Amino acid sequence: MVHIQNFTDASSLESHWGYADRVVPCTNDAGSCKYLDVVYHSHDLGMLYSGIFWATIAGILFIWTLARRLAPSRRADEELLVPVRASSSPSQGGIERLKSALAAHSRRYLLPDFSRPIFGRTTRLQVLTLVVLTGYLAVWSFVGIVYNTWVTPVKKMPGVYNTRTSLGPWSDRVGTLAYALTPLSILLSSRESILSLMTGLPYQSFNFLHRWLGYIIVVQSTLHTIGWTIIEAKLYQPQPTVARDWIKQLYMIWGCVAMILLFLLFALSTPWAIRLTGYEFFRKSHYILAMVYIGACIGHWDKLSCYLVPALIVWFLDRGARLVRTAILHYTVLPGGEVAFGPAKASTTVFSDPNGDVVRLDFVHPHDAWAVGQHFYLCFPESSIWQSHPFTPLSLPIHDDVSCGVQHSYIFRAKGGETKKIAQLAAAKMQQAGGVTPLTSVILTGPYGEEITTHLTQDVNVLCIAGGTGITYVLPVLLGLAYQPRSVKRKVTLVWAVRQKADVAWVQPELDRVRQLAKSIDLTIRIFVTREAEGQSSISEKSKYADHDFKSVSEPIVRSDQTPDSSSAASTSAAYPCCGPPSDSFAIQKTAIPASNPHDEPIHRHPDLSILVKDFIDETVCGRTTVYASGPGRMISELRSIVAGSNDGSKVWNADERYDVSLVCDDRLEW
């Protein structure tokens, strides 16, 4: 508002936080003075509303954190420490049952995906949170502004008038809110997330809100720019003199730079751009453009640095914490007292596959054990120090006093980029060494993510479903269950779909270990082959143990089914990129296709996850069920709908825990 005030005649200035000082008393014409009253009043309210917005977020986080501390859910380790739990009072039982019923009811309606073409593979709960946030911001964008029009004369230009409207204060309001949202966007994108510490939610669960909050900032900034462009290039007179003088000002030049950077951030963050340029290019360019954008915003309007400086601080703290965590994992003290940085040396095994070789890394590293479900970011300095990728260890995190470390085991498919380089490097080393297992340098950062077995008490039934390399997410769950006291009523099943029978070798040691420990967890293992040549068999193994004497009462069952012909496999391979199109072997026995009608292709020909989950729940003796899943995005989306339909809050309230079904899935990245 500097351009319409006469500072040379000012008797005093009135400070306004985040805005230009105001000349008091007003020396302009009556219409301009009324307009200035509206502008400054609406801006002051905008700053107040921004404070209320942040106070609301702080209040929600405080209540959430307090509730987690005062009313924690029952933990599995509590049962190990207290074998016999005191019976709950009726009121306590009612409270627990009410919590479970409400949770089941909310999952039924909020767990499935919503409008996938627009929001991607995102739950209704995430979309509902976004809608509430958007509505809240919309209210603050419009309230407290006096909407009117003032026609005022231009000094020394008779017959020429300015049109002043409430478009100006409204444009300022949305611009202020865009600045106020910037630190929240940075918080939502942080890997070393303070939000995760307070809420218990993994950092990746905030990615959806981070992305869409960025889109909201783009819309707000665009509306702010359009609004002031209309004012300066149309409503203010004389033209084009006013517009030309306006665009030459330094703050406007920085504003144009900020908008260009913001549109680049938006364009490069779309799923189509990420697929075109690659995730690593997106990640690096996003970091650089975001920091330069914040700097340009400071250049445009430094009076609102109260929002932008904290955003920069959070960003640098996040990066600094990552470096510190990496240093703690890899810096060691040598016998001479010197400190040295040393990467882990992983033995590398390559499993040849026409769809992309699979690489397995095994090494022991000295540090504390992580929690089941957490993942590490791995950097391979022999290839590039500028790239790191998230991988979930398939090994059980137990600290070994003999080796003074924890066993790390990873598998990943080398389709292209960094992972393909690692596979090629390992193959070259193996050739040079004459077949000796090669070693690959690995730099770790982590662990990150949530502990997924914290509330896996002995009354919880477990269904693990994995596709391809997604087995790394669910295997540690099974290995961990084997070390818990045996529950005679718990049902545990593993379902794993692979492309070829030989793919089982990826995790053969762990599967053998699970089979050895099967007596303690009443385990059923089902492995299905989806792209084997016709006539070869799939694997379906079931190991059951009696509750009274822990002895096997059934032998493994091996079933052989025909796989789909090549034409049908080709037509459906895109639907299951991780493990390929499912064959008849991925059908439950009671729904298998009759051999007398091999050409009929009913729904049961393909993997029917709804039947898998339904039959599992029907066969449980008692207790609730947790489904652990990792695999193709389509599989996760389907399971969300299936698990949602399996929940019934009214039946849970009536003490039928069978209809209390939760889904824990690995959904770190899905484009």
Residues 426 and 359 in one domain: yes
CATH code assigned at 379 = 2.40.30.10
Compute CA 368 distance to the chain's CA centroid, rounded to the nearest angstrom: 25
Pick the last residue of a domain from 448, 481, 501. Answer: 448
In degrees, to the nearest 5, what angle opens at C-alpha 56 toward C-alphas 54 and 59?
A: 110
Whole-number pLDDT of residue 602: 22
Question: Is residue 330 in a domain?
Answer: no
Question: Is residue 656 in a domain?
Answer: yes
Question: Is residue 280 in a domain?
Answer: no
Distance CA 566, CA 598 (A): 15
Going from the C-alpha of 69 to that of each of 89, 368, 370, 453, the distances in angstroms are 21, 25, 22, 18
Pick the last residue of a domain from 394, 419, 448. Answer: 448
In this structure, are strands 439-448 and 357-365 parallel, antiparallel, or unpaired?
Answer: unpaired
> Among residues 619, 564, 615, 635, which one has the least CA distance to residue 593?
564
> Among residues 275, 293, 281, 126, which one has the least CA distance to residue 211?
126
Residues 519 and 631 in one domain: yes
Whole-number pLDDT of residue 513: 87
Residues 442 and 468 in one domain: no
344: helix, strand or coil: strand
Compute CA 293 distance to the chain's CA centroid, rounded to the nearest angstrom: 24
Residues 310 and 378 in one domain: no
Distance CA 54, CA 63 (A): 14
**Residues lower than pLDDT 50 in the chain:** 84-92, 534-535, 537-606, 670-671
161: helix, strand or coil: strand
Entry field: residues in the chain: 671
Distance CA 369, CA 633 (A): 29
Distance CA 524, CA 515 (A): 9
Angle subtended by helix axes 633-646 and 90-110, to nearest 10? 130
Residues 174 and 307 in one domain: yes
Contacts of 148 (CB under 8 A, 6+ apart): 34, 38, 165, 166
- Owning domain of residue 227: 31-71+119-248+301-323
Question: Is residue 41 in a domain?
Answer: yes
Whole-number pLDDT of residue 528: 78
Question: Is residue 87 in a domain?
Answer: no
Contacts of 261 (CB under 8 A, 6+ apart): 289, 292, 293, 296
What is the value of pTM for the model shown? 0.86
Whole-number pLDDT of residue 282: 92
Going from the C-alpha of 522 to that of each of 460, 493, 508, 512, 550, the distances in angstroms are 13, 9, 20, 15, 9
Pick the last residue of a domain from 399, 424, 448. Answer: 448
Residues 510 and 558 in one domain: yes
* Tally of domains within the chain: 3
Contacts of 7 (CB under 8 A, 6+ apart): 13, 23
The neighbour count for residue 253, using CB atoms within 10 Å, is 14
Question: Is residue 147 in a domain?
Answer: yes
Residues 492 and 404 in one domain: no
From the number of C-beta atoms within 10 Å of its C-beta (0-12, 13-18, 19+), residue 7 rates as exposed
Question: Is residue 265 in a domain?
Answer: no
What are the counts of helices (DSSP H) followed by strands (DSSP E) for the chain?
A: 20, 19
CATH code assigned at 589 = 3.40.50.80
Residues 544 and 415 in one domain: no
Residues 231 and 353 in one domain: no
Contacts of 427 (CB under 8 A, 6+ apart): 350, 357
Contacts of 156 (CB under 8 A, 6+ apart): none
586: helix, strand or coil: helix
Residues 219 and 353 in one domain: no
Residues 309 and 190 in one domain: yes
Residue 339, phi-psi category: left (phi > 0), alpha (psi -120 to 50), beta (remainder): beta
Q: Which residue has the tokens 């008091």?
A: 24
CB 32 within 8 Å of CB 164: yes
Distance CA 278, CA 274 (A): 5
Question: Is residue 555 in a domain?
Answer: yes
Residues 646 and 538 in one domain: yes
* Helical (H) or strand (E) element with 38: helix 30-70
